[in-house]
């Protein structure tokens, strides 16, 4: 049987395939947030993903990230591209093995408008958000997901016209000394959902 893209996406909301196929999204950081966002967007039928990370898969990643035991010691960009191609081979996936800095962030994202910020370190997150917002990119970020709080505390907030922040607005890793798949994936789902809404023009109805 020949696999067709429409067969993969037949349960998606109708009439959206063309817009999603034309869309490009850059994901900075492929850990608990970024790896899950990438897979969710691939399942939705996104046309083009640019995946950026410089790390390798470790055993400790498996409690919340999309990787498998077979991926341990692989570069995250290569492992995630492999996963995506097994889910939806029609997604165009560009990978970049690089550490993002103030000096290279603009050349990395290029002309891609929607950026998912999915870094672990607070200082890197702050730098990326500042640089990208100053360049009129749309940034979808997340923080405040540690511990085992109620899932109903995870919300999407529109901070600026081009900046969305997901989380519970109070928790952090240092306070709760650990992070679980459930709340990470909740945040990643929020990120992926607002990306889809932005692409499809749904966000204008209010967030």
Token pair in block for residue 176: 């709760």
Sheet holding 163-167, edge to edge: 92-97, 48-53, 24-28, 114-117, 138-142, 163-167, 155-160
Quick one: pLDDT at residue 1? 64
Average pLDDT score over residue span 156-168: 94
- The pLDDT mean for the chain works out to 91
Quick one: pLDDT at residue 176? 53
Average pLDDT score over residue span 163-179: 72
Q: Which domains does the chain have, with CATH numbers?
A: 17-201 (3.40.50.720)
Strands 138-142 and 92-97: unpaired
Helices then strands, counting H and E runs in the chain, come out as 8, 7
Quick one: pLDDT at residue 177? 60
Contacts of 29 (CB under 8 A, 6+ apart): 52, 53, 100, 117, 118, 119, 120
Q: 15 or 189: which carries more pLDDT confidence?
A: 189
Average pLDDT score over residue span 132-144: 94
Quick one: pLDDT at residue 12? 86
Q: What is the pLDDT of residues 88-125, one digit of tens each?
A: 999 999 999 999 999 999 999 999 999 999 998 989 99
The predicted model scores a pTM of 0.93
How far apart CA 84 and CA 74 sit, in angstroms, is: 15
Strands 155-160 and 163-167: antiparallel
**Residue 63 DSSP one-character state:** G
């Amino acid at each position: 049987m020949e696999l067709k893209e429409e067969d993969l996406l037949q349960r998606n909301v109708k009439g959206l395939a063309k817009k999603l196929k034309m869309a490009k999204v850059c994901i900075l950081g492929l850990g608990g947030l970024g790896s899950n966002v990438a897979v969710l967007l691939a399942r939705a039928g996104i046309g083009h993903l640019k995946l950026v990370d410089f790390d390798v898969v470790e055993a400790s990643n498996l409690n919340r990230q999309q990787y498998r035991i077979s991926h341990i010691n692989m570069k995250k960009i290569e492992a995630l591209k492999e996963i995506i191609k097994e889910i939806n081979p029609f997604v165009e996936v560009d990978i970049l093995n690089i550490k993002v800095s103030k000096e290279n962030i603009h050349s990395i994202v290029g002309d891609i408008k929607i950026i998912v910020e999915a870094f672990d370190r607070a200082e890197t997150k702050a730098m990326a958000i500042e640089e990208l917002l100053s360049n009129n990119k749309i940034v979808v970020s997340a923080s405040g997901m540690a511990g085992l709080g109620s899932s109903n505390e995870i919300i999407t907030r529109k901070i600026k016209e081009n900046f969305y922040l997901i989380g519970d607005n109070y928790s952090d890793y240092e306070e709760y000394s650990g992070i679980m798949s459930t709340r990470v994936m909740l945040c990643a789902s929020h990120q992926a959902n607002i990306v889809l809404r932005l692409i499809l023009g749904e966000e204008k109805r209010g967030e």
